[in-house]
Amino acid sequence: MSEPLLVVDHMTKRFGGLVAVKDVSFSIRPGEILGLIGPNGSGKSTVMKSILGIHPPDGGSVKVDGTEVAGWAPHKIAQRGVGMVFQHSRPLHRQTVFENILLGLLPDRLTYLIPDAATERRAREIAEKVGLGHVLDRRPGTLPFADLRKMEIAKAIARNPRIVLVDEPFAGLTSRETAAFAQLIREMRDDGRAVLIVDHNVRSVAALVDRIYAMYVGERIAEGSVDDVLRDETVRRVYLGGALTVAARPESSFKDVDTPFLAVDKLDVFYGKAQALEDVSLKVHKGEFVAVVGLNGAGKTTLFNAISGLVPYSGAIKREGTALAGRSAAKVARGGIVQAPEGRDLFTEMSVRENLELGGARLTPEEREERLDWLYGLFPILKTRGKQNAGTLSGGEQQMLTIARALMMKPDMLILDEPTLGLAPVIMEQISKALEKLRQTTPLTVLLGEQNVTFALPHADRVYVLEHGRIVWEGDPSRFEADVGERYL
Amino acid sequence: MLFWQILIDGFAISSLYALGATGFTLIFGVTGVLNLSHGSIMVAAAVAAWAVAGTFGFGAYGGAFVGIATGFVLSLATYFMIVRRLQETRSIREEEKEIFILTATLLWGIMLQEAIAYLFTNNAKTVLPIVDGVVSILGVRTPANEIFTAVICWAAIGCLWGFVNRTRAGKALLAASMNPRGVTLLGFELSNIYIAVWAVYGALAGIAGVLLGMFLGVSSYSAGPLTASAFSIVVLGGLGSVSGSLIAAYVVGYLETLTAYLVSPAYRAIPALLLLVVVMYLRPRGLMGRR
Amino acid sequence: MLSRILKSREIWFSLIIVLCAATLPVYVSGYVLGLLTIAYYFGVFSMAWDLLFGFANEVNFGPSFLIGLGAYTAGILDSLYQPPIFICVLAGVAAAMIGGVVLALPALRVRGPYFGLTTLVAVLMLQNFVVVAANLTGGEIGLTVPDIISVDDKVNYWLALGFMTISGLILYGLSRSPVGLILQASGQDTVQAGALGFNIVKHKLAAFLVSAFFSGLAGALMVFYLGAASVTTFVDVTVGVQVIIGAVLGGRRTILGAVLGAVFLIVAGEALRPLGELATFIVSAVALAVILAFPGGLLGLMRGSRGAS
């Protein structure tokens, strides 16, 4: 067997106090595809960026074909033969596709002022190879999303790297586009390159990779063939949790069956050329807890932002029968549909109490005090942290503050976007308890977006599964595991 | 004697710088806009006060009132006619908007400056002061107007502080400077907050302009240097940090006064510029910067 | 790619205009020629600025720092020792390029408004230096140089036109060349450009040097056209502002548009001179209106109308 091209040994990367990557070791041989898998916040993207020197590792070694490159500048590592296909690329908008691909072929020299015929021919060949031959003279802005992704592959291939790092190759692609894209990656392997693919779950890359290295909160949890990893107990626990407990109330038990509190009908959202949501319809009844589960990039945040009036959409979003379109985001919020966003959006240099008071700015002083007391009961830690700046809180405390700040607005409906993102299990437990208490003791309606199924299902009355911007499943949480559970590994 | 003189003169000048820079940094902190018509708005306020108080004979108080109102109106005009149009247009990419806003506010500043020169000539003008006479502090004969300037500056800064920290609207404004999306999600209309900030800024620039006109006098030529000094102070203090600008205003004010008294008035701007260069190299975010 | 440049209609269109402009001395007065001579030098200033902004994505508020260094170094050398003019010009270019490196250093560390400010501070420092070192620089009164290129309006005019044309061709060619592509990629996203194996520091530094080269050269040549250097013509912040407005007005990221904008500003300003202070007011107002209504600038406007027809 040939020697490995890329060897990562005991790599560690810290951001301030946070250990993003801890003691990660793997290697890839020429003609091999390794899948680096982990849920959001597991550190997999950081590993990739550390290999390329974008975030130089704090410890351990990275060897490219036997040469230690840890600590080198990215362009030096790239020149050693490491290429990367970015998930979010920014092509040169005023240049043609041809010129964008040509860029990848250019030497890092100031004296190379006139490209020779061979280089231009090579750019055309690469374009043909990835299937962009017919759009060479178009500008990137006029291309569909899938072609833009192909252009990124073309740029990476153009440098003829021996090692290719691919970040979430299939995000935002339809299943047919996915197949074409997977074929391009296979061809890279067949050319003898070592390929590292970073993705969220095993399923999406199972057909493509030779081996899998699974991570969770910065550390290795499993490694081996696709089947080994799929059978691995730790992996199953991370993705599916233990036995799922559900306590759903039947849909018929809600009074507003005909005109639900919130009705989303045939929603489409575009970001430029890329369609983020396609024909999404869902409803939420008054007092109901509805979960929208889906992987990162499935479109959950876009859905919530559309409901909150933060992104333009086509289709209808109705509250108790009245369309919300045309209302400003602030008006939607004042109307009682309040979002606790994924990014938290806290006022980091204000105290915890000031953050909460801003949430309750429209209440009378008595109401505000009463509300604060109630929330301190729900999240006692916030009371002890009252005078501290929000930016100095731990991740879990910040999440609680985000939820509490939204609740200060006395909402009719709370939209919770990824409340467990990057949190330790203990903290998840606390947030879970608070949600349960809300469900038991208040008439609050909740729309919860999660990729963590274990967290979401116990609270949900009904579940929607969002995939590539479309609702692919809806139903009772008790049927979830049997129907769609396997997709979540 | 010289020591006390420098201390007192420097304090008055620094207070004025502080007030001028506070509005400038507030606009940047909340809306992300560097308003390069800043100096022109201050000069316009001062010239309006001068004309109303002197030429039209409405007295010092009438002049001051009209001057501040001028700053207020021009600030809102800057926002509605230029800044908001550029922020909302879709024909310019987001990452290019900054240079467009800079260029446009600069052009707007030049227009104001030239209009002032056309209507009121280029001559230096001193606004009729509200208080006059001379008082003796620690043996230094100080114009009462100088003390008045410092007092009003600090009163205005104090009002701003109270507004931002003690009122609901002020808190929302402060919150918007940290996270505009968060403010929207809590039901505050961001567009109203922006209008409020420009209104507050206009009043501050108006007050600073009128006081400057009473204390040192202005001409249409002052517009550029005023913008530049506000810009320098704000960057020295850290863009968006009000407390940083206050400290930086005193550093610059005293450096200039010291140089003017001890070396030569011709060199007064140089030490502050040198300090700015050193800070930019060693601590690019400024003294108290967070961005 | 070379063939693409030759095929570009803009280049042929521009060359036809240049040819027409070359015949102007036959039928216009020396006064108009003098005005256009200045306008052409400003065109080079604006093009050099556009290379930094439009292609390297660096907002330089201090073009007059580079211009002033070129102009004053050449002028001072001439007034002190009277070497041949080309020696003085070379010295001016060298000084401007050193200035380019000085500007580039913070650009590689700080971003956005902070970089903008360092460039502005550089201008203010130079301005203060000129005023303070009056016995060397002539201070606020200005510096008179003993030599000039020619007393003939037409020679000066053709020289400026030729210089602008050659500079334009080089800068335009550079912006469309592989190096221009790399520069744009680095300006847009340093991380991704680095991942493609490009040394961003090297390319940005080169962009600063090229920009400084043309700014300094144009500044130095202009001194020997005017026979004098002063703060208000070469160093003042308003000079830099005019250079920037010219480039944005003409159409940023086009190189050629910068000439259009700069010539418009100079000529319009002069044509309206009888109106006194109102002249600058009107020119600024027109520029502001163009920027608000047509962000693509004059060149964008012309391209748009051509595309529509």
- In a domain, residue A92? The reply is yes
In which residue are the tokens 């021996």 written? A162
CB spacing of C194 vs A54 below 8 angstroms = yes
Contact A349 B185 (CB under 8 A): no
> Please, is B261 exposed, middle or buried when counting C-beta atoms within 10 Å of its C-beta (0-12, 13-18, 19+)?
middle
pLDDT band at C105 (very low <50, low <70, confident <90, very high): confident
Q: Which helix (H) or strand (E) holds A462?
A: strand A462-467
Residue C178 to residues A95, A137, B118, C208: CA-CA distances in angstroms? 12, 17, 50, 17
- Residue after which a domain boundary falls, among A207, A240, A273: A240
Q: Are residues A219 and A278 in the same domain?
A: no
* A246 domain-assigned: no
pLDDT digits (tens, 9 = 90+) for B235-276: 888 877 888 889 999 999 999 889 888 888 877 778 888 888
Which residues of chain C make contact with A74, given a CB cutoff of 8 A? 191, 194-195
Contact B266 C132 (CB under 8 A): yes
Q: ipTM of this model?
A: 0.85
Question: Do both A224 and A330 map to the same domain?
Answer: no
Contact assignment for C106 to B98 by CB distance below 8 Å:
no
pLDDT at C229 over 50: yes
Q: Where are the domains of chain B?
A: 17-221
Mode of pairing for the β-strands spanning A445-450 and A289-293:
parallel
- How many A×B Cβ pairs under 8 Å? 63
Do A51 and A136 lie in a common domain? yes
| Domain hosting residue A384, numbered range | 251-488
pLDDT at B288 over 80: no
Res C13 pLDDT > 50: yes
What is the pLDDT averaged over residues A57-63? 93
User: What's the pLDDT tens digit per position in C67-98?
Assistant: 999 999 999 999 999 999 999 999 999 999 99
Q: Does residue C305 form part of some domain?
A: no
Nearest CA distance, C280 vs chain B (angstrom):
7
Percent pLDDT > 90 in chain B is: 43
Domain with C53 in it: 33-237
Closest-CA distance, A392 to chain C, in angstroms, reads: 26
Q: What is the pLDDT of residue C1?
A: 52
Residue A407 has pLDDT above 90, yes or no: yes
Q: Do A114 and C177 touch (CB under 8 A)?
A: yes
Mutation for C interface: B108, B114, B120, most C CBs within 10 A: B114
Smallest Cβ distance to B111: which of C53, C116, C284? C284
Nearest to B171 among A329, A349, A358 (CB): A358
- Which residues from B are below 8 Å from C296, CB to CB? 91
State the best of B171, B178, B184, B185 to mutate against chain A, taking most chain A CBs within 10 Å. B185
Q: Say whether both A199 and A74 belong to one domain.
A: yes
Q: With CB atoms and an 8 Å threshold, state whether C195 touches A99.
A: no
Contact status of B182 with chain A (Cβ, < 8 Å): yes
The single-letter DSSP state of residue B55 is: I
- Residues of chain A found within 8 Å of residue B92, distances taken between Cβ atoms: none
B167: contact with A, CB 8 A cutoff: no
For residue C166, CA distances in Å to A65, A146, C158 come to 48, 42, 12
Of C106, C252, C287, the CB nearest to B107: C287
Per residue in A63-106, pLDDT (tens digit) is 999 999 999 999 999 999 999 998 877 888 888 999 999 999 99
- Averaged pLDDT, B136-146: 83
List the structure tokens of C119: 């460039």
Reported as a pLDDT band with limits 50, 70 and 90, residue C7 is low
Model confidence pLDDT, tens digit, residues B149-208: 999 999 999 999 999 888 888 999 999 988 999 999 999 999 999 999 999 999 999 999
* Lowest-confidence segment of A200-204, A359-363, C59-63, C223-227 by average pLDDT: A200-204
Residues from C in contact with B at Cβ < 8 Å: 53, 59, 106, 109-110, 112-114, 116-118, 120-121, 124-125, 128, 131-132, 237-238, 241, 244-245, 248, 252, 276-278, 280-281, 284-285, 287-288, 291-292, 295-296
**Same domain flag for A304 and A227:** no
Tokens of A115: 């490209």
Band (C307; pLDDT cuts 50, 70, 90): very low
Please give the Cα distance from A22 to A219 (Å, whole number): 5
Do A236 and A255 belong together in one domain?
no
pLDDT at B102 over 60: yes
Do B290 and A345 lie within an 8 Å CB cutoff? no
Is pLDDT of A242 > 60?
A: no
Task: Enumerate neighbours of A (3 or more CB pairs within 8 A).
Answer: B, C
Out of A132-136, A321-325, C216-220, give the one with best mean pLDDT: C216-220
Residue C210 lies in a domain: yes
Tell if the CB–CB gap between A345 and B185 is shorter than 8 Å. Answer: yes
Q: Supply the pLDDT for residue A151.
A: 92
> How far is the alpha carbon of C85 from chain B, nearest alpha carbon, in Å?
33
Please name the residue of chain B whose CA is at the shortest distance from the CA of residue A390.
Answer: B178
Q: Which residues of A sit within 8 Å Cβ distance of C?
A: 52, 54, 73-75, 78-79, 83-84, 86, 89-90, 92, 94-95, 99, 102-104, 106, 108, 110, 112-115, 120, 155, 159
Task: Answer with the one of A199, A216, A240 that is the final residue of a domain.
Answer: A240
Picking from A205, A240, A275, the residue at the C-terminal end of a domain is A240
Mean of all residue pLDDT scores within chain A: 88
At C306, the pLDDT band (50, 70, 90 cuts) reads very low
**Yes or no, beta carbons of A78 and C181 under 8 Å apart:** no
- Pairing, β A211-216 against β A32-37: parallel
Tell me whether residue C110 is exposed, middle or buried, using C-beta atoms within 10 angstroms of its C-beta: 0 to 12, 13 to 18, 19 or more.
middle
Task: Please determine, for residue A147, whether its predicted confidence score (pLDDT) is greater than 50.
Answer: yes
Lowest mean pLDDT among A124-133, B89-98, C175-184: B89-98
pLDDT in tens, A435-481: 989 988 899 999 999 888 888 888 899 999 998 888 989 988 888 87
Helix (H) or strand (E) holding C16: helix C9-22
Q: How confident is the model at residue B55 (pLDDT cuts 50, 70, 90)?
A: confident
Considering the domain boundaries, does residue A426 fall inside one? Answer: yes
What's the number of domains chain C is made of?
1
How confident is the model at residue B106, as a pLDDT?
87
- In whole angstroms, how far apart are CA A397 and each of A16, A378, A388, B219? 18, 12, 11, 55
Task: Determine which of A420-429, B129-138, B152-161, C16-25 has the lowest per-residue pLDDT on average.
Answer: A420-429
- CB A350 to CB B175 under 8 A? yes
Judged by CB atoms within 8 Å, which residues 347-386 of A form the interface with B?
347-350, 354, 357-359, 361-362
How many folded domains does chain A comprise? 2
Burial of A388 (0-12, 13-18, 19+ CB in 10 A): middle
Res C154 pLDDT > 70: yes
For residue A1, is it within any domain?
no
Q: How confident is the model at residue A323 (pLDDT cuts 50, 70, 90)?
A: very high
